[in-house]
Structure 1
């Protein structure tokens, strides 16, 4: 699948919040207890998204027809989930990979993950990390299918998250 990554602009912040809400509603329909807070996001979550936009860490994903079909946040450091390990060099962290529900099940998530991994390898990044709600076993297995290894756990006020790492080097 051919996709294009574009850094999100500040004016697209409402689009990001809409993506989160749509994903939350889709998860709710599937009876997956994750991201309910995006239906009426608390201040700390909105602040987290705004920070990502200010740091130019959010990307939107487009198909070749110009449709905005997914988004993600890519960080160079992540102490919120990874604490001191989150400051290591040659590591990248992906958060908030959201595929619009209307494009779900079409391989978009896989295409996004493979393209991110390919780009990180080209940049000589050694490790790729992410977190995943531990109660979402299907999503945990999805990331494990890429070779991500569970290396820890992080408890937040919203969930228990598995910490995953993929060696790229």
Structure 2
């Protein structure tokens, strides 16, 4: 995706340091607001490398500078259970705090909706902490509708959201 000075591309090994900084900054931001969905520990370089190998991890750049990341997957049994291939699943959407409020998260969601549509899938889905009212409202403002919740063994309650991919 190119939108002015914003681009989204598949993350490569050379992006690991930037991904670590973005994800660890986002984790700290969430923890400071009482959202423990990502835990409180900093990610290791190996954990980011593993995530890159296991899923489609993307890096978001503004004027060539790394400012965000997300993963786009084509299944998510952990939160959604076994499903027909009707959705894309976005995880780990994170934007560097210095660019909060610039609409970059919304642009990444728009990009993911378009990718999902191109794959012939009907919905883009995501999960977030049901206890993070601000984040839930953010996704609702982006056009997502809460369609359920999933309680994990740890006690974590995930709010499950989806949006029509034709929304793009």
Do they superpose with TM above 0.5?
A: yes
- Structure 2 residue corresponding to 1:137, chosen from 103, 110, 133: 133
- Structure 2 residue corresponding to 1:118, chosen from 95, 114, 121: 114
> Aligned partners of 2:79 and 2:13: how far apart in 1?
24
Contact 1:20-1:38 within 8 A present in 2 as well: no
TM-score (norm 2): 0.82
Are 2:21 and 1:18 equivalent residues in the alignment? yes
Contact 1:7-1:56 within 8 A present in 2 as well: no
1:40: how far off?
3.7
- Structure 1 residue corresponding to 2:74, chosen from 73, 76, 89: 76
- Structure 1 residue corresponding to 2:35, chosen from 22, 33, 36: 33
The alignment yields a C-alpha RMSD, in angstroms, of 2.3
Are 2:162 and 1:160 equivalent residues in the alignment? no
Residue aligning to 2:61: 62
1:132: how far off?
0.9
Task: Flag the 1:67–1:11 CA change in 2: closer, same or farther, 3 A.
Answer: closer
Task: Flag the 1:158–1:5 CA change in 2: closer, same or farther, 3 A.
Answer: farther
SS of the residue corresponding to residue 101 of structure 2 reads coil
Contact 2:87-2:125 within 8 A present in 1 as well: yes
1:34: how far off?
3.0
1:81: how far off?
1.1
- Structure 1 residue corresponding to 2:100, chosen from 104, 114, 118: 104
Contact 1:94-1:129 within 8 A present in 2 as well: yes
> Aligned partners of 1:28 and 1:89: how far apart in 2?
33
TM-score (norm 1): 0.82
Q: Give the number of equivalent residue pairs.
A: 161
SS of the residue corresponding to residue 39 of structure 2 reads helix
